[in-house]
Amino acid sequence: GENVGLHLPTLSVQEGDNSIINCAYSNSASDYFIWYKQESGKGPQFIIDIRSNMDKRQGQRVTVLLNKTVKHLSLQIAATQPGDSAVYFCAENMDGGNKLTFGTGTQLKVEL
C-alpha cells in the first residue's frame, strides 16, 4: 500500500481535543514560515503563515506560534475534527531567499 515503509511522526488525538503539532526549523535567518495540510491523494493545502516579526498568528480554529530563540514553530488546532486527519508540514523560507524548504511532516490521526 501507499504507506508501506512510511514512518512519519504520528499524533493521535480524540475528536474535540486540541492538537499541537511541532516543528523545529533549521535556519535562524529564515523569515517566513508556513503550515500545510496534505490529505491522501491531494496536494499540500495552505493553512496559515507567519513572518519572523511576529510570534503568534491566529486563523479559524488554528494558531501558529513562532519561537525564534529556539527555532521552533507550532500549529495548534482547536476542537480537532475527523476532517483534520492528514499529514501536516511546516515550511521555512531559508536565508530570505526564493524557495520554501519543507519539514518531514507529521501524521495527525483523529479518533472518534
Partner 1 sequence: DTAVSQTPKYLVTQMGNDKSIKCEQNLGHDTMYWYKQDSKKFLKIMFSYNNKELIINETVPNRFSPKSPDKAHLNLHINSLELGDSAVYFCASSQRTGDSPLHFGNGTRLTVT
Verify binding: residue 101, partner 1, rule CB under 8 A: yes
SS3 67: strand
DSSP-derived letter for residue 98 is: S
Q: Select from 12-20, 60-68, 71-79, 93-101 the region that touches partner 1 (CB under 8 A).
A: 93-101
| Contacts (CB under 8 A) with partner 1, residues 30-89 | 31-32, 34, 36, 38, 41-46, 49, 51, 87, 89
| Residue with Cβ nearer partner 1 (77 or 86) | 86
**Residues near 102 by beta carbon (within 8 Å), at least 6 away in sequence:** 36, 89, 90, 91
